[in-house]
């Protein structure tokens, strides 16, 4: 930690420490999945696609664009790569055949689980170590910070 005890006590130092912890925690959470993705010629956006499609089968491409907050151009190439590698399939929506719904293939589900498992283990260990009150406090902080983005994505 680069912040000192004296700096941590000030308002700005407290916020610096919180942001620094968030930075290093994120790096820890994404390190192992990023290695696995790189070995497959993929990036974090591929994992984000797999993650959200796994949790919302039949999500439309437009809904996924909204959740990920990316442009069609930014989503197009990774989605085509996932399709080419038979990790995701497209099916037309029953009411509007122009809408494409996304579903992970069995191979896609297996890869998503492999990528997410170390993250789940890390979160599980940290939340258990924090206890029920610590977990509840952490969730309140995360919900407060994420509230606008959750609503913007259509998920809240």
| Tally of structural domains, the chain | 1
| Residue with the larger pLDDT of the pair 156 and 8 | 156
Question: 108 lies in a domain?
Answer: yes
Task: Indicate the burial class of 48 (C-beta count within 10 angstroms; 0-12, 13-18, 19 or more).
Answer: middle
- Where in the sequence is the domain holding 47, given as residue range(s)? 11-152
pLDDT tens readout for residues 52-68:
999 998 999 999 999 99
Question: 4 lies in a domain?
Answer: no
- The enclosing domain of 147 has a CATH number of 1.10.10.10
Distance CA 32, CA 36 (A): 6
Question: 121 lies in a domain?
Answer: yes
Which runs of consecutive H residues, i.e. helices, occur in the chain?
A: 5-9, 11-39, 44-55, 61-68, 72-84, 106-152
Q: Which residue has the tokens 């919180």?
A: 18
Question: 99 lies in a domain?
Answer: yes
Question: 1 lies in a domain?
Answer: no
Task: Indicate the burial class of 73 (C-beta count within 10 angstroms; 0-12, 13-18, 19 or more).
Answer: exposed
pTM greater than 0.75: yes
**Do 121 and 29 form a contact (C-beta atoms < 8 A)?**
no
Question: 6 lies in a domain?
Answer: no
Question: 115 lies in a domain?
Answer: yes
Average pLDDT over residues 86-91: 95
Distance CA 51, CA 42 (A): 14
Question: 106 lies in a domain?
Answer: yes
79's torsion region: left (phi>0), alpha (psi -120 to 50) or beta?
alpha
Instruction: Kindly give, in sequence order, each residue whose CB lies less than 8 Å from that of residue 17, ignoring residues fewer than 6 positions away.
Output: 1, 3, 7, 8
Amino acid 106: pLDDT: 98
Q: What is the separation of C-alpha 120 from the centre of its chain, rounded to a whole number of angstroms?
A: 12
């Amino acid at each position: 930690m680069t912040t000192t005890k004296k700096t941590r006590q000030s308002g700005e130092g407290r916020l610096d420490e919180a942001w620094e912890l968030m930075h290093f925690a994120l790096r820890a959470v994404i390190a192992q999945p990023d290695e696995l993705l790189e070995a497959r010629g993929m990036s974090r956006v591929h994992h984000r696609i797999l993650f959200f499609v796994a949790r919302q089968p039949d999500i439309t491409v437009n809904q996924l664009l909204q959740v990920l907050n990316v442009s069609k151009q930014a989503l197009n190439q990774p989605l085509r790569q996932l399709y080419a590698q038979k990790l995701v399939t497209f099916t037309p929506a029953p009411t509007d055949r122009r809408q494409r719904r996304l579903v992970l293939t069995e191979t896609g589900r297996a890869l998503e689980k492999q990528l997410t498992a170390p993250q789940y283990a890390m979160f599980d260990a940290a939340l258990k170590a924090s206890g029920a009150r610590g977990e509840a406090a952490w969730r309140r902080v995360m919900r407060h910070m994420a509230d606008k983005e959750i609503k913007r994505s259509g998920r809240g």
